[in-house]
């Protein structure tokens, strides 16, 4: 599947800890700049779930993060996405 990534809210990291750190840096303004062209108040990131965030493999054929090949063949993704990836005949 290639590189494993943890995707949560607007953050992508290699580990649960990287995403937790990114959230804290977002909330304090230490790492991320302002969003140009957005006139509203800065959005707060939601609290990170208590459970550990798990890395998922990148499905290059589908163009997004996925859980596993088993999830794909079990019909988690749309029929058209599975067909593009050659998972259905």
pLDDT tens digits along 19-77: 999 999 999 988 888 888 989 988 899 999 899 888 877 655 555 555 544 444 444 45
Say what the pLDDT of residue 13 is. 87
Q: Examine the domain organization and report whether 49 and 68 are in the same domain.
A: no
Say what the pLDDT of residue 35 is. 81
Boundaries of domain holding 16: 1-54
Under DSSP, the state recorded for 2 is: -
Q: Examine the domain organization and report whether 67 and 38 are in the same domain.
A: no
Q: Examine the domain organization and report whether 43 and 63 are in the same domain.
A: no
CA of 24: how far to CAs of 14, 18, 19, 52, 60, in Å? 16, 10, 9, 16, 30
Q: How far apart are CA 49 and CA 12, in angstroms?
A: 15
Q: How far apart are CA 73 and CA 77, in angstroms?
A: 8
Q: Examine the domain organization and report whether 40 and 71 are in the same domain.
A: no
Say what the pLDDT of residue 70 is. 44
Say what the pLDDT of residue 67 is. 52
Say what the pLDDT of residue 73 is. 46
pTM for the whole thing? Answer: 0.59
Tally the domains of the chain. 2
């Amino acid at each position: 599947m290639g590189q494993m990534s943890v995707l949560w809210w607007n953050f992508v990291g290699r580990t649960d800890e990287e995403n937790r750190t990114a959230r804290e840096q977002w909330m304090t303004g230490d790492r991320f700049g302002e969003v140009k062209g957005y006139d509203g108040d800065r959005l707060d990131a939601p609290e990170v779930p208590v459970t550990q965030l798990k890395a998922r493999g990148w499905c290059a054929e589908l163009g997004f993060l996925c859980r596993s090949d088993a999830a794909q063949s079990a019909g988690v993704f749309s029929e058209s996405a599975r067909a593009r990836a050659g998972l259905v005949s």
